Copies of this chain bind each other. A is one copy, B any other.
Amino acid sequence: MSLDPARLGPMANAIRALSMDAVQAANSGHPGMPMGMADVATVLYSKFLKFDPAAPKWADRDRFVLSAGHGSMLIYSLLNLTGYARPTIEDIRDFRQITSPCAGHPENFLLDGVECTTGPLGQGLAMAVGMALAERHLNATFGDDLVDHRTWVIAGDGCLMEGINHEAIGLAGHLKLGRMIVLWDDNRITIDGDTSLSTSEDIPARYRASGWHTEECDGHNFADIERAIAAAVADGRPSLIACRTVIGKGAPNKQGSHSVHGSPLGADEIVATRAAIGWTSPAFEIPENIAADWRSLGAKGAEARAAWENRLASNEEGKEFVRRMSGELPSGEAAAEAFKAWLGQSQKVATRKASELALEILTPAIPEMIGGSADLTGSNNTKAKATGPLTADDYSGRYVYYGIREFGMAAAMNGMALHGGIIPYGGTFLVFSDYCRNAIRLSALQHARVIYVLTHDSIGLGEDGPTHQPIEHVMSMRLIPNLEVFRPADVIETAECWQLALENADKPSVLALTRQNLPQLRTEGGLQSAKGGYLLRGAEAARKVVLVATGSEVELAVKVREALEAEGIGADVVSMPSMSRFLAQDAGYKATLLPGDVLKVSIEAGVTLGWERIVGSDGITIGIDTFGASAPAEVLFPHFGFSVEAIVPQIKAKLGS
């Protein structure tokens, strides 16, 4: 049954009115996109989107991602009009104020119904790829009865011009994610002006080259929008619909121009717009008949949800499905027992290899873990026996060959984590965290449990040289709020850090791992890494020095300690796999490990700035503040001063001994 345009028009104008009035009230924001895409969004919500405003977290809802996040008033309008508990109309009146969940860009942690935080261009669409992939995987695992939904995206020219778009659609096309549909706001305007200023691309042709189905429609013709979406739903490939729109549609003097993109319309143009679209209600008031039409839309979703709840209750996998979607880990006893066996051994392996050994134990025990790598599987050691390939032919697999797409991988992992039911982990070289840095930041901002396996974590990678050698990376990721950076020192700490990362339910974690082999330094368990830093070796002679080291440099610290003790200088070694976790311990614990009156020395094969917080103004920071070089690791470490011979004299000089 086709939709009734006589009712859709006023419904769409309700979006326009709320959007222009909210932006005007805030004196800041982006009216152009919500007004331009109001007609498309109205058709989507009226006929196609599966949602229940009373249950925003319903597991089998369709996911709707506003990738063009600057048009946030579009989603705030939709959530309010369809009857979600928030935002209220007061929330919308307070758009962009600190008291309102209606932030400048949509934030998943402020409002249910906002599936992910958007604004950084291109990433919403790329996260949607992860959501669509999660849907197919869970469908393959739990069946149509429990998992059967679509992923919808509204994207603008910016989202499509960003490099990440190439990675995202390449992955989606390759994996044949046919239940993903992108509604492109094809308004031919960017901030600088017409798109012709900066691009000449045939976007649909590019999407087709990546295995996508494409449609075009008049974004202001309800029937044509409906036809195009129906065609996309019917096609087995992921779909791009070019919705030809006029930015700021409805504003008679400003529509179609970049001036309407990111500024309030102004009082006069708002008056003119009201007249042009026949909107007579005061600001923030919706006529009851229009409001009723909007509120009626959730009924179909409420029915569908009720039926789904019944199926869930009778499904023998229902409890496991609910557990996975809740994010609660399964009992870890088997894994803990397996790790205990390592304590009695003496495994000299790279921590990337230790991570693989840990994954061999963890992935059978935690079926929601889905691994992958940006084309460095054998180097990142991310693949375990339990994780077979996830492909277009078999979505039940648990390992994604992401290709050479670091940013796309990271964003897809965000989408998988936010979809729920999956704990994604993925690998690349630590230095190429630069390529996906903003997605890592969005993991942190969105409280997404994503685990980044970042190997080859220092000059220890050797011959590949300075482009591949992280210098600033470990410290620079420690600066990102709500991200925990682990740099384990041996096989035991690696297992501990994996456990802690998995338990970080509300944040992402980085595991910085070595290429080169490291000796096993611990034979006791006790999850010592849980305090971030701990005493690994105590001084024998009178303690004059505390050596604080991370990762591969803990081995060196132990050797430095031995050399100092041989000269009668007592030295502790503190291993610090997580600086942020250590700094969050109580003052007493920290003071015990790092007493004020003892020389403190940090040793880490990375930049030194930041280590003063641990070793104090009078400490010594051993590190590397230049780019690296190409040579074998065993040449590079002493070349850059990482040797007992280079470090001990500095300590003795400082001690005056």
Give the B-binding residues of A (Cβ under 8 A): 26, 28-29, 69-70, 96-98, 103-105, 107, 117-121, 157-158, 161-167, 170-171, 173-174, 190-193, 197-203, 205-206, 208-211, 373, 375-379, 401-408, 431-432, 434-435, 437-438, 441-442, 444-445, 462-468, 471-472, 475-476, 478-482, 607, 609-610, 612-613, 616-618, 625-627, 629-632, 635-636, 639
Contact of A105 among B464, B472, B632 (CB under 8 A): B464
- Scoring A103, A171, A616 by chain B CB atoms within 10 A of each residue's CB, the highest score goes to A103
* A-B contact list, 27 entries, CB within 8 Å: A28-B463, A29-B463, A98-B636, A103-B630, A104-B463, A105-B630, A158-B404, A163-B163, A173-B201, A174-B200, A174-B201, A191-B376, A192-B375, A192-B378, A198-B401, A200-B210, A203-B209, A205-B208, A472-B479, A472-B481, A475-B479, A479-B609, A481-B626, A610-B610, A610-B612, A612-B612, A617-B618
Q: Is the CB of B98 within 8 A of A639?
A: yes
Q: How far is the CA of A157 from the CA of B373 in the complex (A)?
A: 16
Contacts known (A472-B480, A617-B617); A161 close to B170, Cβ less than 8 A: yes
Q: Which residues of B contact A466 (CB under 8 A)?
A: 103, 107, 445
Q: Is the CB of B190 within 8 A of A375?
A: yes
Contact of A616 among B96, B163, B199, B617 (CB under 8 A): B617
Copies of this protein in the assembly total 2
Known pairs A158-B404, A610-B612, A612-B617 / 20 extra A-B pairs, C-beta < 8 Å: A97-B631, A97-B632, A98-B630, A103-B629, A105-B464, A105-B630, A107-B465, A120-B434, A163-B163, A163-B408, A163-B435, A173-B201, A174-B199, A191-B379, A192-B373, A198-B404, A206-B210, A434-B441, A471-B481, A472-B479
Q: Is the CB of B104 within 8 A of A468?
A: yes
Q: Which residues of B contact A402 (CB under 8 A)?
A: 198
Q: How far is the CA of A190 from the CA of B374 in the complex (A)?
A: 11
Q: Is the CB of A157 within 8 A of B617?
A: no
Q: Which residue of B lies closest to A195 (CB)?
A: B403
Contact of A210 among B191, B201, B478 (CB under 8 A): B201
Q: How far is the CA of A444 from the CA of B202 in the complex (A)?
A: 35
Q: How far is the CA of A322 from the CA of B144 in the complex (A)?
A: 70
Q: Which residue of B lies closest to A110 (CB)?
A: B630
- Scoring A191, A198, A200, A482 by chain B CB atoms within 10 A of each residue's CB, the highest score goes to A198
Q: Which residue of B lies closest to A207 (CB)?
A: B209
Q: Is the CB of A467 within 8 A of B378?
A: no
Q: Which residues of B contact A206 (CB under 8 A)?
A: 205-206, 209-210
Q: Which residue of B lies closest to A28 (CB)?
A: B463
A374 to nearest B CB, angstroms? 9
Q: Which residues of B contact A173 (CB under 8 A)?
A: 200-201
Q: How far is the CA of A97 from the CA of B634 in the complex (A)?
A: 11
Q: Which residues of B contact A626 (CB under 8 A)?
A: 481-482
Q: How far is the CA of A118 from the CA of B387 in the complex (A)?
A: 33
- Scoring A105, A192, A618 by chain B CB atoms within 10 A of each residue's CB, the highest score goes to A192
Q: Is the CB of B630 within 8 A of A404?
A: no
Contact of A117 among B192, B467, B631 (CB under 8 A): B467
Q: Which residue of B lies closest to A472 (CB)?
A: B479
Q: How far is the CA of A166 from the CA of B118 in the complex (A)?
A: 21
A174 to nearest B CB, angstroms? 5
Q: Which residues of B contact A157 (CB under 8 A)?
A: 404
A110 to nearest B CB, angstroms? 9
Q: Which residues of B contact A475 (CB under 8 A)?
A: 479
Q: Which residue of B lies closest to A639 (CB)?
A: B98
Q: Which residue of B lies closest to A438 (CB)?
A: B434
A557 to nearest B CB, angstroms? 21
Q: How far is the CA of A375 from the CA of B121 in the complex (A)?
A: 12
Contacts known (A162-B163, A200-B174, A209-B206); A481 close to B96, Cβ less than 8 A: no
Q: How far is the CA of A476 from the CA of B606 in the complex (A)?
A: 13
The 4 closest A-B pairs by CB, nearest first: A163-B163, A198-B403, A166-B166, A103-B630
Q: Is the CB of A464 within 8 A of B163?
A: no
Q: How far is the CA of A607 from the CA of B481 in the complex (A)?
A: 9
Q: Which residue of B lies closest to A171 (CB)?
A: B198
Q: Is the CB of B472 within 8 A of A476?
A: yes
Q: Which residues of B contact A197 (CB under 8 A)?
A: 401, 403
Contacts known (A434-B438, A479-B607, A612-B613); A170 close to B199, Cβ less than 8 A: yes
Q: Is the CB of A69 within 8 A of B467?
A: yes
- Scoring A200, A201, A435, A471 by chain B CB atoms within 10 A of each residue's CB, the highest score goes to A435
Q: Which residues of B contact A198 (CB under 8 A)?
A: 171, 174, 375, 401-405
Contact of A375 among B117, B191, B379, B618 (CB under 8 A): B191
Q: Which residues of B contact A625 (CB under 8 A)?
A: 481
Q: Is the CB of B163 within 8 A of A167?
A: yes
A245 to nearest B CB, angstroms? 18
Q: How far is the CA of A444 from the CA of B627 in the complex (A)?
A: 9
Q: How far is the CA of A192 from the CA of B426 in the complex (A)?
A: 14
Q: How far is the CA of A104 from the CA of B639 in the complex (A)?
A: 17
Contact of A476 among B199, B406, B479, B629 (CB under 8 A): B479
Q: How far is the CA of A29 from the CA of B630 in the complex (A)?
A: 11
Q: Which residue of B lies closest to A161 (CB)?
A: B404
Q: Which residue of B lies closest to A262 (CB)?
A: B379
Q: Which residues of B contact A377 (CB under 8 A)?
A: 191-192
A370 to nearest B CB, angstroms? 15
A93 to nearest B CB, angstroms? 14
Q: Which residues of B contact A476 (CB under 8 A)?
A: 472, 476, 479
Q: How far is the CA of A493 from the CA of B639 in the complex (A)?
A: 39
Q: Which residues of B contact A607 (CB under 8 A)?
A: 479, 481
